[in-house]
Chain A
Amino acid sequence: MARNRSRPLSPHLTIWKWGPHMAISILHRVTGNGLATAGVMGVIWWLMAAATGPEAYAAFIQCATSPVGYLVMIGISWFFFQHMMSGIRHWVLDMGAGYELHTNKTWSLVIPVLSTLATIALWATIFAGKI
């Protein structure tokens, strides 16, 4: 990209002391793109398998219920809750609210806790149904 070399660049990533709001920001990007690739492909595989026939569906279920399959699904569900909650944080920031340092930091710390709790609640419900 063309830029005027005689003008300074603002300081970037490396110069800042890390804080929770930065982690939330980059996590929003990581989780969004993770869902957009792995998450969405999982859903499409599930739908295509169900549309194709019993054998294809059995192959899907075999992969999904393997230890790695559960790990991936639990990961994707945490990604979703994390992205969803930081997405709601974006809505608030978009309205111009929540930029005070203390408020911003608090929500940045609360969101991963909430998304972890939501993930635990979801899988507890699923595994409770299986016992």
Chain B
Amino acid sequence: MGNGTGIGRVRGLGSARHGAGHWLTHRYTSVSNLLLVLWLIFSLATMPGLDYESVRSWIANPLVAVPLMLMLVSVFWHLRLGMQVMLEDYVHDKGLNFFAILILNFYTIAGAAAGIFAIAKIAFEGAAS
């Protein structure tokens, strides 16, 4: 272990002590996933129809658009943390693991952005068009 550069001094000392935060955030988002995804399933199952007009007018309601966006934030956050653990368990090569987590970050941000943008577009355009 070196005592020169910062990285030389911390290498080999184990975790950066961020594990508990990761773990707890995963539990928090699992609680919000439970509530918000169940709400989505219940709403979809009880809606009179899932045709274009019905779905758009449902999403255009602010009391739907906001929880739907929150659901995406919660689900993507949870999935980002969960898939990292899976990748750390199975992708042992350091370089490949770094690359896999890079792709996971892109996937998370791109997916959540696409979904939130779609909801916002419908909400701001209104049900018609």
Query: Which B residues are CB-close (under 8 A) to A91?
Result: 27, 30
The answer on a CB contact under 8 Å between A126 and B56 is no
Query: Which B residues are CB-close (under 8 A) to A84?
Result: 34, 37-38
The answer on a CB contact under 8 Å between A47 and B27 is no
Q: Kindly report which residue of chain A lies nearest to residue B93, judged by CB atoms.
A: A1
Fill in one digit per residue for B6-32: 1 if any A CB lies within 8 Å of its CB, else 0: 000000000000000000000100100
Smallest CB separation, A48 vs chain B (Å): 5
Smallest CB separation, B52 vs chain A (Å): 5
The answer on a CB contact under 8 Å between B117 and A51 is yes
The answer on a CB contact under 8 Å between A44 and B55 is no
Given contacts A84-B34, A87-B34, contact A33 B118 (CB under 8 A): no
Smallest CB separation, B120 vs chain A (Å): 9
The answer on a CB contact under 8 Å between B79 and A29 is no
Cβ-neighbour of B52 out of A36, A40, A57, A90 (below 8 A): A57
The answer on a CB contact under 8 Å between B45 and A122 is yes
Bound Cα distance from A84 to B79, whole angstroms: 13
Q: Which residues 50-99 of A sit at the B interface, judged by CB distance below 8 A?
A: 50-51, 54, 57-58, 61, 77, 80, 84, 87-88, 90-91, 94
Query: Which B residues are CB-close (under 8 A) to A27?
Result: none
Q: Is B63 an interface residue (CB 8 A)?
A: no
Q: Which residues 73-99 of B sit at the A interface, judged by CB distance below 8 A?
A: 75-76, 79, 82-83, 86, 92
The size of the chain A interface, using a CB distance under 8 A, is 30
Secondary structure call for the A interface: helix
Q: Kindly report which residue of chain B lies nearest to residue A81, judged by CB atoms.
A: B41
Bound Cα distance from A125 to B44, whole angstroms: 11
The answer on a CB contact under 8 Å between A50 and B59 is yes
The answer on a CB contact under 8 Å between B111 and A48 is no
Cβ-neighbour of B75 out of A40, A47, A77, A129 (below 8 A): A40
Smallest CB separation, A113 vs chain B (Å): 19
Query: Which A residues are CB-close (under 8 A) to B27?
Result: 91, 94
Smallest CB separation, A1 vs chain B (Å): 6
The answer on a CB contact under 8 Å between A50 and B111 is no
Smallest CB separation, A82 vs chain B (Å): 13
Q: Is B115 an interface residue (CB 8 A)?
A: yes
The answer on a CB contact under 8 Å between B114 and A50 is no
Q: Kindly report which residue of chain A lies nearest to residue B53, judged by CB atoms.
A: A54
Which residue numbers of A lie inside 8 Å of B, CB to CB?
1, 29, 32-33, 35-36, 40-41, 43-44, 47-48, 50-51, 54, 57-58, 61, 77, 80, 84, 87-88, 90-91, 94, 122, 125-126, 129
